[in-house]
Every structure is written in C-alpha cells, then in structure tokens.
Structure 1
Amino acid sequence: MNGGPIGIFDSGVGGLSVWRQVVHCLPSESTFYVADQAHVPYGHRSADEIQSYCLAIADHLVRQGCKAIVVACNTASAVALEPLRDRFPSLPILGLEPAVKPAVQLTRSGVVGVMATPATFQGQLYRATVGRTASAVQVVEQVCTGLADLVEQGDLEGPHCDAVLQGFLAPMLAAGADTIVLGCTHYPFVIEAIRRLVGPSMAVLDPAPAVAKHLSDVLRQADLLAPPGAEAEHRFFTSADPASFDRAVARLVGAQCSSAALMWRSGPELCQR
C-alpha cells in the first residue's frame, strides 16, 4: 500500500487548499482528488445527505487503492468523519476541524472569531472542540453563507468580494476579535483579501498546513510513506464539468490537469466516465 495514492475530497475546489499543502509537505506522495461539485456547497445540506455523499466518495477512493483519506471539508468532517471511520476501521481517515485551539493560544483580547458554515457550527466535532479548548475565551461564530460559492466561481478579489467579506468580518471585529479562524477549506483562497481588510494586527488561521503535517505523521507511524524520490502522480475528478474544474485548479493552485468526470448513478454510487 505504500505506493497507493492519498485520497482527498471536498464538495468542490475548497479542498485544493489542503491538497496544495499535502503536495508541499509530501512531495513523493501521489494523490487522488475528488470534487463533488454536483452537490456543492455541502453547508446547507442535511446530515443524511452529506453522509451519503461522503460514504459514496470514500467507497470510490478505496476502490482506487487509496492508502489514506483526507476529508478536506470542514462541513463533511463535522457530520461524516465518524461514519467514514466506522466503515473503514483499518484505513487512516483524517478530517478537519476549525483551528480553535491555536486561536485560543494566540488571542490577546480573549475574543476569537470563527468563519464557517451552519453545518460545521452544528456538528458535534466543532462543539466538542470549542467545549474542550475555548472555555476561557469568547467565540464569535460567523456563518458565511455564499462565500464558498464565490470561491467556486473564482470571485476572489475586487469590490464585490470585499463587500461580502466585510459583511462577515464586521460582527467579529465589533466584538473585539483579534484572531480569526477559517473554518471552511474554501476560505483560504480569500485569505489575502481578509488580511487586507482586517489589517496586520489580526491573526488569520488556515488549518491546512497542520493537516498536512498530521497526515505525514500518521503515514510515517503506519509505515505507509512512499519511498523518498518516488514519482508522484496527481489525479483529479469532479462530479460536474471537468473543463470548468480544470480551469479552477489552474487558477487556484497553478496546477495544469485534465480531470475526469465522476457521475452519480442509481443511489449514491459513483462511477467514472
């Protein structure tokens, strides 16, 4: 299994913010990225829907020989991580949770802002993290409806993007937050715009580098690392339009690819075409 790829999936292009950190941290590892753009965004969907999509994608990744899976979506991690681990108990499966703990360690004002989707905020994973690590600070939860859609559309800068971001940032700034947590993998693609709007004194946390480091540690402990110098292959799949996705990959992470389509057939089962 050492030569198998790392499976990474998200509802759309947001998980590419995790993918690029994995590739940077583990340059010898091959990857298999799935964007479920037919159902993006996950943030407003029911837990049952999200679990169904995630289990189908994970089944597909396992059939492709993936040696580990990264759920590169905070919403999916919040509601589907444990069902995925129950289905594949011997497979390393990593998820994401908002970086509340490091934010608590960084804050000087005692106020931390978290930008995320409703499903992430309602998930047991997020609630447990806040209860365990943030009892001594005020956590301002900001639902960012539509922000993932902007990233999917490539609207990453300019007056419209700034106006949307300012609407989300204002309540956290008014509450005195000096640290902001990006609780969705789409949001790091507008991190420079956020930093420009909030100023240099605000810490803005992207959890993707820590996820890549943790993945490296997990693979090393399981003796699943690819041999140093192995030639990595990166494959991309989408459940929507491959040409549009290829343009997004080039725009967001600078990688040139020719993705294939994954279509939904009877039930939630994925098939390649």
Structure 2
Amino acid sequence: MATIGVFDSGIGGLTVLHEALRQAPAHHYTYLADSANAPYGEKSSDWIAQRSLDLCHWLVREGCQALVVACNTATAEAIERIRHEMPAIPVIGVEPGIKPAVTKSTNLKVGVLATQNTLKSDKFNALLESLEGHCEFIPQAGLGLVPLIESGQIDSAEMNTLLRQHLKPFQAAEVDTLVLGCTHYPFLTPLIREILGDKIQIIDTSEAVVKQLARKLEEFQLLQSAPPRVIRFYSTSDADALVGLAKQLIPTAFEQHSIETSTVFIS
C-alpha cells in the first residue's frame, strides 16, 4: 500500500494535497506542516536546505514511500540534495509555472508572485534565464502574505490591503498572466481576480505536480491502497488548528479518507 508524504512550511501544501486527493485518491497520505517555523521565505538558504532534508527523513521513518516537497522555497533550496540522499524513492518538487505561462500569455507580459527566497534562488533564476527573450517577466515578492494565510486571514481587510500593494507592479505592467510561485497563494485566487479582473490568467502548478507524482508512482511500482484510506496530519505547532484550516479551505477533499492528527517535535 502506497503512503505519500507531503510537506510544506505550513498550510500551503494543502493546495497540492487537494489536487492529489482529486487525481490519486486511492493512496494513504501523510501531510507535515512545519508551522512552528513558517514562513520559510525569509530564512537562510542553508537553514531551509537542512530543515527540508530533516523533515523528509522524518517522513520516510514514518513509512512514506514517495515524497512531495509542496513548498516552492524548499524545492528551490533543497530538492537536489534530498534526491541525492534519497535515491531509492520518488521525490517530487514544485516550482513556479514559468514555462506554461509563456505559452498562455498573449501580450508576453507575465507576473510572478513568489517568496523572496524563491525569487533569489539559483534554481528560479536559471529557469528564468532559460526563457529569456520569450516574455517580459515581472517578479514580485509577496512579503507578509504567508503569515496572514497561515493565521486564516484570507478574507481580512489587512490581506486585501497588502495584496493590492503587491499586485500594483503587475497592474502597472499590464500583465495578462500571473504565476503563483508559492503553494499558499492559490488560496488567494478569488481575491486576486477581484483586484486584477477575471481576464487575468493564473498559473498554479498543483495539477502538473500531481501528474508527475502519478508517473513516478507507476515507475517505482508503488501500489494503490485498499480502503480504509487514511490522511495523517502532523504539525510542528498545532495539528488541530491545521486540520481545522484544512477542513475550511478544502472541505470536500476528505470524503474517501479517515483523518488522524498529531502535533510533533522534529529537531
């Protein structure tokens, strides 16, 4: 029976888990939120790389046979090291959907909303350089957005004000396509559309990530589980709060699974 580990600095990876439950419901899932240390976006590269590796080792010890690094910042800073140290299992990362944005944009002006660390990472900038000349890319760090999302303030006046500030460069540049370069940000899609208008094309890579996961599960011959299927929610801060937000943000995702929760300390 396949058990898939999904980890993020907090609740952002729930967007990827939601898509995984839609595309591949016949598996067990272990979701780990490192909420005690969220957000990752402004921490040092070395700290993120080591912490991400530690969390992946913990998930494997908990029985996970495949891993999804459902955090753009952790992917940018740690994915190669994780894959190097864990060659026997599939490790799937996430990255901003720059490539699909190039094909989607009509006016060749693409906004990228991501964390500060993702935007300055070598992995992201190499991706950007590989597409140089295809589009005009306008990067913007979403400072302060993740803590508000983590605290459930998605529809708050404070979020509205802050998000409008971050979206101003995209409005000024008249982008027609916006890449969401953090797994937390898809929760803001309705508010983004309210501010930028319904014509804006929004690129969220969750679907592509889970398709890649499915290919790797088949390649590694990891079988689907028989009912009852389980989702285990772990948090380094408050597992009950994590599950509460999960039920609020993706309420229809758990119909085929039972839920277990635990708050954990991972050194």
Structure 2's unaligned 5+ residue stretches are none
TM-score of the aligned structures, taking structure 1 as reference length: 0.92
**Closer, same or farther in 2 for the Cα pair 1:238/1:137, shift >3 Å?**
same
Shift of 1:34: 0.3
Contact 1:104 1:134 in 2 (8 A): no
Identity across matched positions, percent: 35
Separation in 2, partners of 1:191, 1:101: 20
Does residue 142 (structure 1) correspond to residue 144 (structure 2)? The answer is no
**Paired residue type of 1:147:** L
Q: 2:129 aligns with which of 128, 131, 156?
A: 131
Shift of 1:232: 2.0
Separation in 2, partners of 1:225, 1:22: 15
**Paired residue type of 1:243:** D
Residue-by-residue CA offset, 1:204-234 (whole Å, 9 max, x unaligned): 111111111111112122221415x544211
Q: 2:179 aligns with which of 178, 181, 197?
A: 181
Does residue 235 (structure 1) correspond to residue 238 (structure 2)? The answer is no
1:20 alignment partner in structure 2: 18
1:249 alignment partner in structure 2: 246
Give the secondary structure class of the aligned counterpart of 1:94: strand
Q: 1:38 aligns with which of 36, 39, 42?
A: 36
Residue-by-residue CA offset, 1:212-270 (whole Å, 9 max, x unaligned): 1111112122221415x544211000000222222212211125845201113xxx3xx
**Paired residue type of 1:139:** F
Count of residue pairs brought into register by the alignment: 262
**Paired residue type of 1:237:** Y
Residue-by-residue CA offset, 1:68-95 (whole Å, 9 max, x unaligned): 1000000000001011011101211010
Taking the TM superposition and a 5 Å limit, the aligned residue runs for 1:48-197 are 48-197=46-195
Shift of 1:159: 3.0
Residue-by-residue CA offset, 1:7-39 (whole Å, 9 max, x unaligned): 000000000000010011001011001000010
**Paired residue type of 1:249:** A
Give the secondary structure class of the aligned counterpart of 1:233: strand
Structure 1's unaligned 5+ residue stretches are 269-273
Does residue 263 (structure 1) correspond to residue 265 (structure 2)? The answer is yes
Separation in 1, partners of 2:223, 2:176: 38
Give the secondary structure class of the aligned counterpart of 2:12: coil
Separation in 2, partners of 1:244, 1:31: 18
Contact 2:89 2:220 in 1 (8 A): no
Separation in 1, partners of 2:21, 2:116: 30
Separation in 1, partners of 2:91, 2:262: 24
**Paired residue type of 1:143:** A
Shift of 1:109: 1.1
Give the secondary structure class of the aligned counterpart of 1:263: coil
- Bigger drift between 151-160 and 80-89 goes to 151-160
Separation in 2, partners of 1:77, 1:135: 25
Separation in 2, partners of 1:124, 1:231: 42
